[in-house]
Amino acid sequence: MVLFVSYSGELGGAERLLLQFSGALGQECAVACPQGALADAARAEGLRVFALRSRRANLRTRVRDRALAGARLAGHAAEVRGLARSLEPELVVAWGMRSAIACLTGPPLRRPVAFQHNDLLPGPTIARVVRAAAGRADLVTALSRATAVDLDPSGRLGARLKVVYPGVDLDRFDGHASPVRPPEVIVLGAITGWKRPDLALEVAAVVRRTRPEVRLRLVGAPFANDGPALLESLRERAAQPDLAGAVEFTGGVAEPASDLVRATCLLHCAEREPFGIAVLEALAAGRPAVVPDAFGPAEIVDESCGVRYPPGDVDAAAQAIVSLVSEPERAAAIGAAGRARARARFEVGSARSRYLAALAPLTRHDRRAGVSELALVTVTHNSENELSALLASVDRFARGSRVVIVDCASRDQTLDVASRFDFVEVVALADNAGFGRACNRGLAEVHEPVTALINPDVEVIDGSLAALCAEAMRADRPERLLAPLVLYGDGSRQDSVHPLPASSPDLARALVPPALLPRRVRLPLAPWDARAPRQVGWAVGCAIIARTETLKRLGPFDERIFMYGEDLELGLRAGQSGVPTWFWPSARLIHHRAHSTGPEFGGEPFERLAQARHEVVLRRLGPTAARRDDLTQALTFGSRILAKGLIGRSTVRERRQLAALWHVHRANGRS
């Protein structure tokens, strides 16, 4: 997996470039960013999104704010390190200066880091920090020569610094459309001070002295702290007699193609523009671009496809526009040349290929080989939404494996979902036979050497399942049950593996929160936090992988248990049969939890859980262990109630768990 990390959750030019370049990497990539427009767009592109906290974005802080800025970056860094430890991506791409500072100025992430540099440095203090971060990166990609030279004027980064221009999809633009009449000049970009929309209005005022029919359209929404006030001042200027009725503010648009093709030309006014996506889009639309002769736009536009004017020179920009408006045939020829230049130098497919080539030395080969030896068995009951996500993820990351679905009389569209995938075999039962019995029925249909018993609310997120399959098949290793790292949707770890019930580590965990202990002491209590494989007492049944012959010999599940406790019983019985359970954190899955049982029981059925655990421990470990485990569970819930109460957090869930345990204890005492 390649993990793209963005401090910003907005969808500006840099974030659109993230989506464009991530497409070069195929399916094994994910995006970590705050919830917002970028996250929504990434999901729409089919990318996995891990949500980060939204933090104030401005690096250009006053002196009194810099400590807070540092704290925000430290928080961002801590989140990224936690994700990197759980996901173990082959490469982390820090998108922009803030993420680069967070990822590269603290303790190393212990994996390659590429820095995508999208901006000009804002000042000497930030410049020193960003350059230091770039010096620690395995690769730095810049979106223009201007940003590359600004970052590394002395060439210290050498071959680690590469310029990869963004691309444009020419198919989005109609290169043959004619501009509207009367002529319009378009300014495309966010309403913010450094983009200089105020300059555009002054240029328009000068143009209208000669060509009073010319109109100006500003396409963009207010951005950053200065945006709303700036927009108001622009409206006031546009109401003055020399511009009255000639300026239109359209607001932001998701797709600017139709606005560009109606214009006679694009006017760009930013004097320190890192690249200029809007300029590139104007070329793709076949429209001349009038741009400052500096930084990114000067790399996009040459004399064949536009006019470059001295930055800030209102008269020069106005003269260029008057010339284009007055000579429509020349403007059309320049526009056609611009579209040809965009196709030759900035076509999106070529841009993605260049980015992929830049990253290639840091990425490994596809790890999906070997999944043809794997069958996945899952049990469904009204699981259409979860099953759709599971099967799509298998199709993406474990293509070549087979999925056996045992459906327990679903009343929704579960079977219709299953029929859409050609690698699925369905065993349809007439009633809800229970998880254990249904799983055993599915296992009987497996002939592959390795089987994964998984819940339908699980998703495969990368190619690591193939590596776990290969580990299960190793002839030089004894029989084992293998449990992958199980993650929540936000990338944090679930407590999916545990010590033996009533054991000393289990009791210690009930008394002392593992997070407060040194790592060496913590892992026996909280084995799910391990970074390396380790033997555990048992694993939660959302994902268990083993040799098929081992699972068939074990049962695998006790069919006397209808629901809950099957996984604990299997782990204890397997261990007593000489088949230990191992946690394997280099293989990862996402588990959404209780997709079917929550609706079925109106929430978490704590009493059923407590009763099932008590019965399994009693049957497998004896009455003394069962009593000790009940006490351990009570201490666990009690200590959580105390700890949460001290910090003012809700304890409703733990109180319900403790009450359920007490009811089970009383019921068992009477029986």
The torsion angles phi and psi of 21, rounded to 5 degrees, stand at: -75, -30
330-345: average pLDDT = 96
Percent of all residues in the chain with a pLDDT value above 70, rounded to a whole number: 95
The pLDDT value given to residue 106: 81
Residue the block writes with tokens 């959302």:
542
- The verdict on pTM exceeding 0.85 is no
Q: Strands 534-536, 581-591: parallel, antiparallel or unpaired by DSSP? A: antiparallel
The pLDDT value given to residue 602: 47
d(CA 279, CA 289): 6
* Nearest-10 crossing angle of helices 566-576, 606-621: 10
| CATH number corresponding to 371-600 | 3.90.550.10
Q: Does the pLDDT of residue 427 top 70, yes or no? A: yes
Give the confidence band of 62 by pLDDT, cuts at 50, 70, 90.
low
Q: Chain-centre distance of CA 222, in angstroms? A: 26
- pLDDT one-digit tens code per residue, 498-544: 999 999 999 999 888 888 888 888 999 999 999 999 999 999 999 99
Q: Does the pLDDT of residue 64 top 70, yes or no? A: no
Give the confidence band of 350 by pLDDT, cuts at 50, 70, 90.
very high
- pLDDT one-digit tens code per residue, 131-190: 999 999 999 999 999 999 999 999 999 999 999 999 999 999 987 789 999 999 999 999
Q: Are 543 and 458 in contact (CB under 8 A)?
A: yes
- pLDDT one-digit tens code per residue, 297-330: 999 999 999 999 999 999 999 999 999 999 999 9
**Amino acid identity for residue 384 in this structure:** E
d(CA 120, CA 275): 10
119-131: average pLDDT = 94
Taking alpha carbons only, the member of 183, 245, 247 closest to residue 214 is: 183
Q: Does the pLDDT of residue 63 top 90, yes or no? A: no
Q: What is the DSSP string of 478-516?
A: ---EEEEEEE-TTSPBP--EEPPTTSHHHHHHHHS-GGG
Q: Which tops the pLDDT comparison, 560 or 97?
A: 97
Q: Which helix (H) or strand (E) holds 306?
A: strand 306-309
What CATH architecture does domain 170-345 belong to?
3-Layer(aba) Sandwich (3.40)
The pLDDT value given to residue 27: 64
Span of 50-64, 76-90, 119-133, 623-637 with lowest mean pLDDT: 50-64
2-163 folds as Rossmann fold (3.40.50)
d(CA 269, CA 591): 49
55-83: average pLDDT = 73
The pLDDT value given to residue 59: 53
The pLDDT value given to residue 603: 58
463-468: average pLDDT = 88
- pLDDT one-digit tens code per residue, 21-41: 998 886 678 999 999 999 999
Q: Does the pLDDT of residue 87 top 80, yes or no? A: yes
Length of the chain: 671
Q: Are 299 and 164 in contact (CB under 8 A)?
A: no
Span of 337-341, 399-403, 450-454 with lowest mean pLDDT: 399-403
d(CA 288, CA 282): 7
Mean pLDDT of the chain: 91
Give the confidence band of 593 by pLDDT, cuts at 50, 70, 90.
confident
Q: Does the pLDDT of residue 354 top 50, yes or no? A: yes
Q: Does the pLDDT of residue 599 top 60, yes or no? A: no
- pLDDT one-digit tens code per residue, 632-656: 999 999 998 998 888 899 999 999 9
The pLDDT value given to residue 109: 87
Q: Which helix (H) or strand (E) holds 610?
A: helix 606-621
List CB contacts of 212: < 8 A, sequence separation 6 or more.
none
The pLDDT value given to residue 369: 46
Strands of 265-267's sheet in order across: 247-251, 215-219, 184-188, 265-267, 289-292, 306-309
Q: Which helix (H) or strand (E) holds 72?
A: helix 66-87
Percentages helix, strand, coil for the chain, rounded to the nearest 5?
45, 20, 35
Give the confidence band of 670 by pLDDT, cuts at 50, 70, 90.
low
Distances (CA, A) of 499 to 496, 612, 639: 11, 17, 18
List CB contacts of 110: < 8 A, sequence separation 6 or more.
84
Taking alpha carbons only, the member of 301, 380, 298, 297 closest to residue 339 is: 301
Joined together, the tokens standing for residue 6 give 């963005």
The pLDDT value given to residue 595: 52
Span of 88-97, 321-330, 589-598 with lowest mean pLDDT: 589-598
Q: Strands 402-408, 374-380: parallel, antiparallel or unpaired by DSSP? A: parallel
Handedness of CA 243, 245, 251, 252 (dihedral sign): negative
